[in-house]
C-alpha cells in the first residue's frame, strides 16, 4: 500500500485533454514536471535553474521525435526552427518569450489550440501539410505567418492577436476559418491566397486591416465582422461569392480595383467612413440591401476606357446619408427601391443598359444624370419621374416641370405604333410641350400664325394687297371669333382659314391653361 502511494506521489498532476495523466516525474517538492511547472519570477534565484532544465527536457523530446508539448511552459528559444515536426501538439502550451517556427515543416497536422504566446511568434516560411489548429490562441506579441503554406484546413477561430498579425503572401490551400478572431492592432493579409472557402465571420479588427492583392478562389464571408480601423481590399479578387452581411466599417473602406466574379453581398452593412469602390468589377449581383452609408460612397473609374462594371446593382432599402457617385460605370440593372438618399445621387457619367428602379425611394439632394445614362426608355421614364418627385418635395416646381417633360418624352418613345408616336411628337411634345413650357407654346403659336399668313398671301386670299393685312388677318382669325371687316375669298382660302381658326382656338386655350398652371405653381 505504501509502494502504491509513493508511485502516485511521483507522477505529474497535469491532466491532458484526452483525460490521461502526465507520466513525467515532478520536480522535488512540486506537483508538476519540468515541462508543466510554471516559471518562477525572473528575479528569483530558481529561475535560471528552471529555465535550463526546461531547455534540456525540450531538446531531449525533440531528439526522440516526441512532439507532445500540451500544456507545457516553454522558455524563449528557437528549439523548433528549421525542424521537421511530426504531428506536434502544443494545445494550452505557454511560450514565455519569443517563439520561432520559421521554415518548420509540420507533418501530419499541428495543433496549438488554447496556446499562449507571450512574446513574438514567427511561423514565416513554415509548411503545414495537414490541418493547422490555432483556435482560441492568444498572441501577446507580434504574430508572423508571412509566406506560410497551409496545405489543408486552417482553424484560427477565436484567436486573439494583441499586437499585430501578418499573413503576407501566405497560401491557404484548404479552408481557412478566422471566425470570432480579434485583431487588436494591424492585421495584414496582403498578397495572400485562399484556395478553399474562408470565413472571417464575427471577427474584430480593432486596428487597420489590409487585404490588398488577396486572391479568394473559394467563397469568403465577413458576416457581422467589425472593422474599427481602415479596411483595405484594393486589388482583391473574389473568384466566387463574397459576403459582408451585417459587417461594420467604422473607418474608411477601400475596394478599389477589386474584382467580384461571383455575387457580392453587403446586405445590412454599415459604412461609418468613406467607402470607395473605384475601378471595381462586379460580374455577379452587387447587393447593398439595407446598407447604411454615413459618408461619401463612390463607384468611379479613373480610366475612361475601362469603366467600373456591374451586373445588377441593388441598393433596396439602403440609407445613404451623403453623396453617392457612379462615375464612368457600366451597369446592367440598378435598383433603389425604398432607398433613402439624404444627399446627391450622381449617375450623370454612367450608362445603365437595363432596368432602373426607384420605387418608394426618397432623394433629398439632387438626382443627377444625363439622357444618355439610360439606354432603355422605360428606365429613363422611371428615373425622370423619380427626379420630378424629388424636386416637387423640395419645392422646386420649375425643375420638376423639366423632369416631367423628359419623363413624357421617354414615355412617348415606348409606344409601339409609329403613327401615334409621330402624332404625339408633333402635337403633344412640340406644339404643347406637355403643358410645362408656355413660352415655347406661344412661340410655336406665333409661328403657326406666320405660316398661315404666308399661305393667305400665296393664294391672294384677301382683297388687301398689303402684306401686313395678311398678318393682321391671320392673327385675328387665330385669336378671335370675328374678322373685323376682313373676309377670305371663297373656296380654298375659306377652308384654310377654318383650319387656322380651329387650331388657333385650341392653341389659345392651351396657352392660357399652361400659363396659369406654370405661374400658379
Say how many CA atoms lie within 13 Å of 481 toward its Cβ: 0
pLDDT at residue 76 tops 90: no
Following CA atoms 7, 8, 11, 12 in sequence, which dihedral angle do they give, to the nearest 10 degrees? -170
pLDDT, tens digit (0-9, with 9 covering 90-100), for 452-471: 888 888 888 887 667 888 88
First CA to last CA distance, the chain: 108
CB 449 within 8 A of CB 504: yes
Task: Provide the 3-class DSSP secondary structure of residue 400.
Answer: helix
The secondary structure of residue 429, as a DSSP letter, is I
CB 146 within 8 A of CB 165: no
- Tell me if 454 is assigned to some domain: yes
CB 108 within 8 A of CB 84: no
State how far Cα 511 lies from the chain centre.
Answer: 50
Q: Check residue 519 and give its pLDDT.
A: 62
Q: Give residue 481's pLDDT band: very low, low, confident or very high (50, 70, 90).
A: low
pLDDT at residue 6 tops 50: no
- Tell me if 220 is assigned to some domain: no
Q: Return the H-helix or E-strand segment holding 402.
A: helix 397-413
Residue with cell 501530419: 108
Q: Is the pLDDT higher at 484 or at 39?
A: 39
Average pLDDT, whole number, for the chain?
88
CB 269 within 8 A of CB 246: yes
Task: Provide the 3-class DSSP secondary structure of residue 467.
Answer: helix
Q: Check residue 520 and give its pLDDT.
A: 59
Pairing mode of beta strands 143-144, 121-122: parallel
- Give the largest CA-CA distance in the chain: 149
Distance CA 53, CA 66 (A): 17
pLDDT at residue 411 tops 50: yes
Distance CA 405, CA 226 (A): 47
Task: Provide the 3-class DSSP secondary structure of residue 72.
Answer: coil
Distance CA 384, CA 195 (A): 46
pLDDT, tens digit (0-9, with 9 covering 90-100), for 142-176: 999 999 999 999 999 999 999 999 999 999 999 99
Q: Check residue 518 and give its pLDDT.
A: 62
pLDDT at residue 479 tops 80: no
pLDDT at residue 5 tops 50: no
Q: Check residue 515 and give its pLDDT.
A: 66
How many independent structural domains does the chain possess?
Answer: 1
pLDDT, tens digit (0-9, with 9 covering 90-100), for 278-294: 989 999 999 999 999 99
Distances (CA, A) of 371 to 184, 185, 396, 433: 49, 48, 20, 17
Helices (H) and strands (E) in the chain, counts: 8, 49
- Over residues 480-495, the mean pLDDT reads 74
- Tell me if 438 is assigned to some domain: yes
Distance CA 192, CA 147 (A): 8
Which residues have CB under 8 Å from 512's CB, separation 6+? none
The secondary structure of residue 20, as a DSSP letter, is P
* Adjacent-strand bridge partners of 106: 85, 128
Q: Check residue 141 and give its pLDDT.
A: 97
The pairs formed by 63-67 with CB atoms below 8 angstroms and a separation of 24 or more are none
Report the percent of the chain where pLDDT is more than 70.
Answer: 93
Kindly report the CATH number assigned to the domain that includes residue 447: 1.10.287
In angstroms, what is the C-alpha Rg of the chain? 39
Distance CA 177, CA 301 (A): 33
Which residues have CB under 8 Å from 213's CB, separation 6+? 190, 191, 234, 235, 236
Determine the Cα angle at 331 with ends 262 and 389, to 5°.
130
- Over residues 364-392, the mean pLDDT reads 83
Handedness of CA 13, 14, 19, 21 (dihedral sign): negative
Q: For residue 421, is it left (φ>0), alpha (ψ between -120 and 50) or beta?
A: alpha
- Tell me if 66 is assigned to some domain: no
Q: Which domain holds residue 489?
A: 433-520
Residue with cell 409661328: 447
Q: Give residue 272's pLDDT band: very low, low, confident or very high (50, 70, 90).
A: very high
- Lookup: cell for 473: 388677318
- Tell me if 121 is assigned to some domain: no
- Tell me if 503 is assigned to some domain: yes
- Tell me if 451 is assigned to some domain: yes
Q: Check residue 514 and give its pLDDT.
A: 67
Q: Check residue 202 and give its pLDDT.
A: 98
pLDDT at residue 209 tops 90: yes
Q: Check residue 363 and give its pLDDT.
A: 84
pLDDT at residue 233 tops 70: yes
- Tell me if 493 is assigned to some domain: yes
Task: Provide the 3-class DSSP secondary structure of residue 285.
Answer: strand
pLDDT at residue 127 tops 80: yes
* Adjacent-strand bridge partners of 238: 216, 260
pLDDT at residue 390 tops 90: no
Distance CA 318, CA 306 (A): 27
Closest CA to 120 of 97, 153, 91: 97
Distances (CA, A) of 143 to 98, 222, 339: 10, 21, 43
Q: Check residue 238 and give its pLDDT.
A: 97
Amino acid at each position: 500500500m505504501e509502494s502504491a502511494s509513493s508511485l502516485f506521489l511521483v507522477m505529474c498532476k497535469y491532466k491532458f485533454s484526452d483525460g490521461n495523466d502526465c507520466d513525467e516525474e515532478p520536480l522535488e517538492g512540486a506537483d508538476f514536471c519540468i515541462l508543466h511547472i510554471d516559471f518562477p519570477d525572473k528575479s528569483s534565484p530558481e529561475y535560471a535553474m528552471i529555465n535550463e532544465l526546461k531547455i534540456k527536457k525540450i531538446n531531449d523530446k525533440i531528439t526522440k521525435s516526441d512532439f507532445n508539448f500540451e500544456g507545457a511552459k516553454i522558455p524563449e528559444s528557437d528549439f523548433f526552427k528549421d525542424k521537421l515536426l511530426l504531428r506536434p501538439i502544443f494545445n494550452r502550451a505557454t511560450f514565455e518569450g519569443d517563439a520561432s517556427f520559421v521554415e518548420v515543416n509540420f507533418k501530419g497536422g499541428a495543433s496549438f489550440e488554447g496556446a499562449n504566446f507571450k512574446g513574438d511568434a514567427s511561423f514565416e516560411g513554415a509548411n503545414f501539410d495537414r490541418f493547422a489548429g490555432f483556435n482560441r490562441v492568444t498572441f501577446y506579441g507580434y504574430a508572423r505567418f508571412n509566406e506560410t503554406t497551409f496545405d489543408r484546413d486552417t482553424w484560427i477561430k477565436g484567436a486573439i492577436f494583441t499586437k499585430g498579425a501578418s499573413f503576407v503572401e501566405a497560401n491557404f490551400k484548404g479552408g481557412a476559418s478566422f471566425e470570432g478572431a480579434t485583431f487588436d492592432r494591424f492585421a495584414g493579409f496582403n498578397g495572400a491566397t485562399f484556395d478553399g472557402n474562408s470565413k472571417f465571420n464575427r471577427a474584430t479588427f480593432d486596428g487597420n486591416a489590409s487585404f490588398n492583392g488577396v486572391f479568394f478562389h473559394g467563397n469568403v464571408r465577413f458576416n457581422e465582422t467589425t472593422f474599427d480601423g481602415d479596411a483595405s481590399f484594393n486589388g482583391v479578387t473574389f473568384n466566387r461569392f463574397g459576403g459582408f452581411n451585417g459587417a461594420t466599417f467604422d473607418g474608411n473602406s477601400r475596394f478599389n480595383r477589386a474584382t467580384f466574379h461571383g455575387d457580392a453581398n453587403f446586405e445590412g452593412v454599415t459604412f461609418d467612413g468613406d467607402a470607395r469602390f473605384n475601378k471595381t468589377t462586379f460580374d455577379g449581383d452587387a447587393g447593398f440591401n439595407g446598407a447604411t452609408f454615413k459618408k461619401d460612397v463612390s463607384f468611379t473609374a479613373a480610366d475612361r476606357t475601362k469603366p467600373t462594371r456591374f451586373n445588377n446593382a441593388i441598393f433596396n432599402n439602403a440609407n445613404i446619408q451623403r453623396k453617392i457617385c457612379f462615375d464612368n460605370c457600366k451597369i446592367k440593372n440598378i435598383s433603389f427601391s425604398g432607398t433613402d438618399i439624404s444627399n446627391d445621387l450622381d449617375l450623370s457619367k454612367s450608362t445603365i443598359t437595363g432596368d432602373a428602379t426607384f420605387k418608394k425611394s426618397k432623394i433629398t439632394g439632387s438626382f443627377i444624370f444625363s439622357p444618355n445614362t439610360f439606354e432603355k426608355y422605360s428606365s429613363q421614364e422611371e428615373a425622370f419621374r423619380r427626379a420630378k418627385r424629388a424636386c416637387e418635395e423640395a419645392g422646386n416646381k420649375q425643375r420638376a416641370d423639366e423632369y416631367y417633360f423628359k419623363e413624357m418624352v421617354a414615355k412617348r418613345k415606348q409606344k409601339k405604333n409609329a403613327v401615334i408616336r409621330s402624332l404625339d411628337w408633333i402635337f403633344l411634345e412640340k406644339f404643347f410641350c406637355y403643358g410645362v413650357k408656355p413660352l415655347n407654346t406661344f412661340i410655336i403659336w406665333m409661328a403657326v400664325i406666320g405660316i398661315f399668313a404666308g399661305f393667305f398671301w400665296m393664294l391672294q386670299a384677301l382683297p388687301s394687297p398689303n402684306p401686313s393685312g395678311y398678318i393682321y388677318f391671320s392673327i385675328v382669325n387665330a385669336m378671335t371669333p370675328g374678322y373685323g371687316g376682313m373676309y377670305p375669298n371663297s373656296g380654298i382660302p375659306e377652308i384654310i382659314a377654318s383650319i387656322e381658326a380651329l387650331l388657333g382656338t385650341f392653341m389659345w386655350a392651351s396657352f392660357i391653361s399652361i400659363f396659369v398652371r406654370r405661374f400658379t405653381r
